[in-house]
Structure 1
């Protein structure tokens, strides 16, 4: 009798599963299509409303994107950008109308692209008009610690972003260098290392920063240990080997955050390029005493400086090796600013390619670099001028939207925090795609065509499909 009861439960479970799948693939389910395409006026533009129709085995000559909602992966944390000193300084010079426009463009869910992450720096980075810290030089006890510098430009802008995002924005911070006196080369610039005798003072500095920002009404989600710890730059930089970062985390930063009542704050390691991330993960995550303090790993996209291709597989290998750890893209921008390339489409496709591959390889969140720069790609006190998705021409007071802004928006506007990535694959290499399921049950599939050809493709879900056409050099978001 018990055997038949169990069998009945199994049969009913399969029947219920089948009904859910049938409900998901209902022909009455509307698919909204939004498109951005080169050489057109399409910019996150609604371009079609489609329905599902019955699907059979696709043939080789058809191009298809397959979505399997029965297979899901990581939870989605969000997408955003960095409010640096440079962004805030430019923002402060804009008219009130343009300030409101910029904040809405990034953070408003309905009228903008709905950013939900925000990175900022712990004192100065290169993207500022000057190099500075929060203490007087030589103050090992941090008695002079003050964030007054940030209250002029950066903090007001961050608060407006939080307000526009509905009062909830995941904020994290990264240092570019300890103060000069704490370093082997006695300058915040040009690399150097943190001297062992200042490990505890530097750990205390993070805790003071978190508390000071939170006192100003800006909750801090977490910190990264060091921006680009293997790069000697002409600007603020500091080197940490894998062993040094592990030991600092294990013996100083982790225990200090706990002691200061900040154990809920996430600590992110590495915060550098994909090329060396696997070694860093091995050294830190294989040490149980260090690993227990690490929420996960941050990474950037600049490994192409050597002339090679992006190392997307390295992200997947960390995801597979350490499934309990999280992966967060913490910085990317298009280098070597050139005003003639504001509308250069390849810059946007670099974003789309990275975002799709990074998400498909296990990344939970994706953070662009400066959200705003001026018409020179700055200010930057060491001349490291770069692109941002939006620039302000300070001569005219106008905002310049680059294609990158819209490509990012194809993800951030539609995929919302706590969504779950869903299995997706394309039958052709010229179409990249990823899919997420939002908490409200809606599915979001992003498809990117980097070829010079218009492509007709099937979006296939189980026994149902819809047929979509994507222009050359375009990105589409399908919401259903």
Structure 2
């Protein structure tokens, strides 16, 4: 970046150097003919216009289907130092076989020690409680009470092993139950009305695989069922951006939390280090928080070739996109209004905790873009920024001082950049 392009950024602060990139073992980009940066456009951040409270970012650990995270990988996932993801949510399974419950303890306990929330989701009840029908497998109606006790037993087992669950789901993806237990909306409502009140933990439902409202609308529209659910959970597999807003939840979900509890995006076939495709993750988080107003963003397997942590335990480019949020937008921060899409292929979200403001800006264009950022009702502040692009991963970019609540900053081509104002 040439001197003077970021007019408010201090001259003494330098972008990431070639030497630093080589020392970090990252590849340098192939140089092509440069396209001039577009004229600066405006981004307005309004700290007083508070939206939802952010509760965390994280992923899934399933110690039966794949190997457990190692001790160092747990720290990489849930620690928040250099080279760590800063995750604050862990999702684990409620195995139908109680003999497997102990296999989830070590990672869950370490996540708790590092300040994360732990939630759990069942794929199946114990086999003795299920029956087959034309649509597959379902929980016997006569076993609803026993199933609630089964969930309670898991809550108690984890608590006795140092893991106080934040929430427990009644079923993972009941509307995509080709290999696990299916539930209709009416069955979910019935269980919530008649049995969920006995569960000694926050209750999560319905965890539709595609945020299909025909599964959650009946819950929101039934006062007795809604009284016994604490978290409306959803997955976002193939969910269209137009389907992210949920007016009925805003109308009837007062006092309830809205969690995105599972996704991988855009696929599970590409390497998580493929660039610029990994920026799709940053955009997806942006849309989930801004358009969907979700309070959490939870990935599928934490460690996978397509996940936030590579099989060798290092943060992937997809993981870096998550970490641009998770490392600086901590639980309890509030999303605040900001110009979300100041130009094509640029996405901006903002958050605050007290006087600290965090801005995450994504530029998917092939050229750098300049923006004038205006923070309403803010005077002077010290700003630190971090960058991920093709040749840098969560690299400290520069520091500068803001005066009169305004600064000009450039977003490099195909990059995600986090600004932290103190």
Report the TM-score, using the length of structure 1 for normalisation. Answer: 0.69
**Length, aligned pairs only:** 367
Instruction: Tell whether 2:380 aligns with 1:402.
Output: no
Instruction: Tell whether 2:351 aligns with 1:433.
Output: no
Residue of 197, 202, 205 corresponding to 2:147: 202
In structure 2, C-alpha distance between the alignment counterparts of 1:114 and 1:322, rounded to whole Å: 29
| Closer, same or farther: CA 169–191 of 1 in aligned 2, 3 Å | farther
- The aligned residue for residue 121 of structure 1 is 93
Residue of 125, 150, 161 corresponding to 2:101: 150
In structure 2, C-alpha distance between the alignment counterparts of 1:324 and 1:317, rounded to whole Å: 14
Instruction: Tell whether 2:67 aligns with 1:89.
Output: yes
| CA shift for structure 1 position 250 | 0.8
In structure 1, C-alpha distance between the alignment counterparts of 2:85 and 2:323, rounded to whole Å: 5
Q: Per residue, is there more helix in 1 or in 2?
A: 1
Indicate conservation of the 8 Å contact 2:176/2:209, yes or no: no
Indicate conservation of the 8 Å contact 1:122/1:174, yes or no: yes
| Closer, same or farther: CA 41–281 of 1 in aligned 2, 3 Å | farther
Which sections of structure 2, spanning at least 5 residues, go unmatched?
1-7, 27-37, 377-403
In structure 1, C-alpha distance between the alignment counterparts of 2:131 and 2:116, rounded to whole Å: 36
Instruction: Tell whether 2:112 aligns with 1:162.
Output: yes
Bigger Rg, structure 1 or 2: 1
| Closer, same or farther: CA 185–359 of 1 in aligned 2, 3 Å | same
| Closer, same or farther: CA 253–321 of 1 in aligned 2, 3 Å | closer
Q: Per residue, is there more strand in 1 or in 2?
A: 2
- The aligned residue for residue 256 of structure 2 is 325
| Closer, same or farther: CA 291–207 of 1 in aligned 2, 3 Å | same
Q: Note the alpha carbon deviations across 1:301-342, whole angstroms, 9 max, x for none.
A: 1135xxxx444533466335534432101001147644x634
| CA shift for structure 1 position 204 | 0.9
Residue of 107, 113, 134 corresponding to 2:78: 107
| CA shift for structure 1 position 208 | 0.5
Which sections of structure 1, spanning at least 5 residues, go unmatched?
1-26, 46-59, 93-98, 124-132, 135-145, 378-386, 393-397
Indicate conservation of the 8 Å contact 1:421/1:435, yes or no: yes
Residue of 57, 82, 86 corresponding to 1:79: 57
The 5 A counterparts of 1:7-406 are 62-85=40-63, 89-91=67-69, 99-100=71-72, 102-111=73-82, 112-123=84-95, 133-134=96-97, 146=98, 148-151=99-102, 153-163=103-113, 165=114, 168-185=115-132, 191-233=136-178, 235=179, 237-254=180-197, 256-257=198-199, 262=200, 265-277=201-213, 279-304=214-239, 309-315=240-246, 318-320=249-251, 322-334=253-265, 337-338=268-269, 341-345=271-275, 347-360=277-290, 361-373=292-304, 387-392=306-311, 398-406=312-320
| Closer, same or farther: CA 210–217 of 1 in aligned 2, 3 Å | same
In structure 2, C-alpha distance between the alignment counterparts of 1:84 and 1:319, rounded to whole Å: 33
| CA shift for structure 1 position 206 | 0.4
- The aligned residue for residue 467 of structure 1 is 408
| CA shift for structure 1 position 41 | 7.5
| CA shift for structure 1 position 464 | 3.3
In structure 1, C-alpha distance between the alignment counterparts of 2:256 and 2:277, rounded to whole Å: 30
Indicate conservation of the 8 Å contact 2:266/2:281, yes or no: no
In structure 1, C-alpha distance between the alignment counterparts of 2:15 and 2:210, rounded to whole Å: 31
Q: Note the alpha carbon deviations across 1:169-220, whole angstroms, 9 max, x for none.
A: 211100011122322229xxx9422111111111110000000110111111
| Closer, same or farther: CA 74–275 of 1 in aligned 2, 3 Å | closer
In structure 2, C-alpha distance between the alignment counterparts of 1:214 and 1:155, rounded to whole Å: 10
In structure 2, C-alpha distance between the alignment counterparts of 1:202 and 1:62, rounded to whole Å: 58
| Closer, same or farther: CA 315–402 of 1 in aligned 2, 3 Å | farther
In structure 2, C-alpha distance between the alignment counterparts of 1:408 and 1:68, rounded to whole Å: 23
- The aligned residue for residue 399 of structure 2 is none
In structure 2, C-alpha distance between the alignment counterparts of 1:74 and 1:41, rounded to whole Å: 40
| Closer, same or farther: CA 414–343 of 1 in aligned 2, 3 Å | same
- The aligned residue for residue 478 of structure 1 is 419
TM-align CA RMSD = 3.1
| CA shift for structure 1 position 162 | 2.8
| Closer, same or farther: CA 311–267 of 1 in aligned 2, 3 Å | farther
In structure 2, C-alpha distance between the alignment counterparts of 1:266 and 1:230, rounded to whole Å: 22
| CA shift for structure 1 position 358 | 1.6
Q: Note the alpha carbon deviations across 1:133-178, whole angstroms, 9 max, x for none.
A: 33xxxxxxxxxxx4x4233x43122223333x1xx32111000111
